[in-house]
Amino acid sequence: MADQVLNVENLSIDIPLSGDILHAVDGISISVNKGETLCIVGESGCGKSLTSLAIMDLLPQKAVRTVDKLELNGSSILNYSDRQMSDVRGSKIGMIFQEPMTSLNPSFTVENQMVETLARHRNIRGKEAKKLAVQMLEKVGITPAKQRLKQYPHQLSGGLRQRVMIAMTLLCEPELIIADEPTTALDVTIQAQILELLTRLQADFNTGLILITHDLGVVAKSADRVAVMYAGQIVEEGSVYEIFDNPSHPYTRGLLSCIPVPGKIKRGEHLGSIPGMVPSLIGEFTECRFAGRWGDTLGKEEENIAHLTPIEGVDYAFLVHGTTDHVVRFCCNSCLKKSKSKISKGVN
């Protein structure tokens, strides 16, 4: 697939922890095409941030990454040395973090940092570098750009800093951008602006974008495709419309029922909830990961029952009936039974 920017197959991340092993991520596969936004959505501890670090080979020393395929634009970066990965990071894969306060160096001006990035990755210096920096700041909506160049990070607001971060990331014209909760630390009125900016720039530059978030509102606004992560596994993935129209995994449904939406529920009535807690992922897993979390807003009404077609060769993975790419994965048989899904015998 010429259009595919990133292909990750069967990624697992294990972290040794006081004598035992934490299986933080368990055999997930993701792919992103040019110009496409994939949202990885999940709550704390599901492994989404670790996944992005694994792609960039930035996992903490103790963590062990095992992956079958890790391809950037068709070529494998699986066995790249530190030096090679260092070249890839920044120039081919750009990363935007959650805290704009800590990802910019407080001791250097904006200009300094942008020019350094250009020198490092594209070998552009001096006047030309400065010109490009100004252009990029304007592209991300910072005006007057020339004045801002001379400022230090602490003189800029959170929203501005994040725009600078985005500008810096785009300077190297990366093929893939990974943004980890880029708007969580920002004010609500700025959030929407930054998300729109990301989407627009992504279309302009035709980059792939992986947007990691816990906020389904962000997903609804920005995603083309969605991967829902729970306890280290991707439990559901598909196009954004499919996921919101036909959520088929109990976790996805639970998540959607939890969100307060103006006008949806009468004031004072209970919001949906997912009882219990995420299970500990330390050691071998014998139970269902969703045990005890079913609650009573799931699987009761007829309309909640998903119609699924098994996928050949993959245990507990199903295509939601009538689609070609909306996939649901259950962690075990007990989960599958409890979901009361209707399984039709089908091909593929």
Partner 1 sequence: MAEVMIDAKNIVKDFKISKGLFRGKETLRAVDGVSLQVLRGEILAIVGESGCGKTTLAKILLGLLQQDSGTVELCGSKIEQIPRLELAKMVQPIFQDPYSSLNPRKSIGSIITLPMRVQGEKNSDVWMKKALQTMDLVGLPARMFDQYPNQLSGGQRQRVAIARALINSPKIVICDEPTSALDVSVQSQILNLLNDLREELNLTYVIISHNLAVVEHMATQVAVMYFGEKVEEAETDQLFSNPQHSYTKTLLNSILSPDPRQRNKKN
Partner 2 sequence: MTNSPQITSTSPISGVKSRVLRHKGMMIGSTIVVLVVLIAILAPLIAPHDPYHQDLLNRLKPPVWDSRGTWEHIFGTDHLGRDYLSRLIYGSRISLLIGIGAALISGIIGTFLGVMAGYFGGRVDMVVTFLITVRLSMPVVLVALAVVAIVGGSLQVVIGVLGLLLWDRFAVVMRSSTLQIRSMDYVTAARAVGCSTTRILMTEVMPNVVNNLIVIATLEIAHAIILEAALSFLGLGVQPPLPSWGLMVSEGKDMMLFEPWLITIPGVALFALVLSVNLLGDGMRDVTAPENRN
Residue 44 makes contact with partner 1 by CB under 8 A: yes
CB of 222 to partner 1, least distance (A): 8
Token reading at 312 = 């050949």
Token reading at 280 = 């500990």
- Rounded Cα distance between 254 and 57, Å, is 33
Side chain identity at 303, as an amino acid letter? E
Name the binder of 221 from partner 2, partner 1, none, CB < 5-8 A by kind. Answer: partner 1
Residue 273 makes contact with partner 1 by CB under 8 A: yes
CB 9 within 8 A of CB 68: yes
Residue 214 makes contact with partner 2 by CB under 8 A: yes
Strand-pairing partners, residue 23, are: 14
Tell me the H-state helices in the chain.
48-55, 82-91, 100-103, 110-122, 126-139, 145-149, 158-171, 188-205, 216-222, 240-245, 250-258, 333-338
Q: Which of 20, 144, 200, 241 binds partner 1 (CB under 8 A)?
A: 241
Run of H or E including 320? strand 317-320
Name the binder of 267 from partner 1, partner 2, none, CB < 5-8 A by kind. Answer: partner 1
Instruction: Report the candidate in 108, 87, 81, 93 with the shortest Cα–Cα distance to residue 8.
Output: 93
Main-chain phi, psi angles of 260, to 5 degrees = -70, 125
CB 90 within 8 A of CB 120: yes
Main-chain phi, psi angles of 25, to 5 degrees = -130, 135
Q: Considering only residues 222 through 261, tell me which ones interact with partner 2, judged by CB under 8 A.
A: none
Name the binder of 347 from partner 2, partner 1, none, CB < 5-8 A by kind. Answer: none
Q: Considering only residues 186 through 215, tell me which ones interact with partner 1, judged by CB under 8 A.
A: 187-189, 191-192, 195, 214-215
CB 312 within 8 A of CB 348: yes
- Please identify, using beta-carbon distances, which residue of 22 and 306 lies nearer to partner 2: 22
Name the binder of 325 from partner 2, partner 1, none, CB < 5-8 A by kind. Answer: none
Q: Which of 9, 14, 43, 87 binds partner 1 (CB under 8 A)?
A: 43
- Rounded Cα distance between 159 and 119, Å, is 26
Residue 155 makes contact with partner 2 by CB under 8 A: no
Q: How far is CA 46 from the centre of its chain?
A: 11
Place of tokens 């093929």: 175
Name the binder of 22 from partner 2, partner 1, none, CB < 5-8 A by kind. Answer: partner 2
Name the binder of 261 from partner 2, partner 1, none, CB < 5-8 A by kind. Answer: partner 1
Name the binder of 282 from partner 1, partner 2, none, CB < 5-8 A by kind. Answer: partner 2
Name the binder of 307 from partner 2, partner 1, none, CB < 5-8 A by kind. Answer: none
Residue 102 makes contact with partner 2 by CB under 8 A: no
- Please identify, using beta-carbon distances, which residue of 44 and 123 lies nearer to partner 1: 44
Residue 168 makes contact with partner 1 by CB under 8 A: no
Name the binder of 219 from partner 1, partner 2, none, CB < 5-8 A by kind. Answer: partner 1
Residue 275 makes contact with partner 1 by CB under 8 A: yes
Cα distances (Å, whole numbers) of residue 326 to 3, 87, 331: 20, 35, 17
* CA triple 50-56-57, angle to 5 deg: 80
- CA dihedral in degrees (260, 265, 270, 272; nearest 10)? -60
CB of 77 to partner 1, least distance (A): 32
Residue 221 makes contact with partner 1 by CB under 8 A: yes
Residue numbers at the binding site for partner 2 (CB under 8 A): 17-18, 22, 44-45, 181, 184, 214, 277-278, 280, 282
Residue numbers at the binding site for partner 1 (CB under 8 A): 43-44, 158, 187-189, 191-192, 195, 214-223, 240-241, 244, 254-256, 258-263, 265, 267-268, 270-275, 277
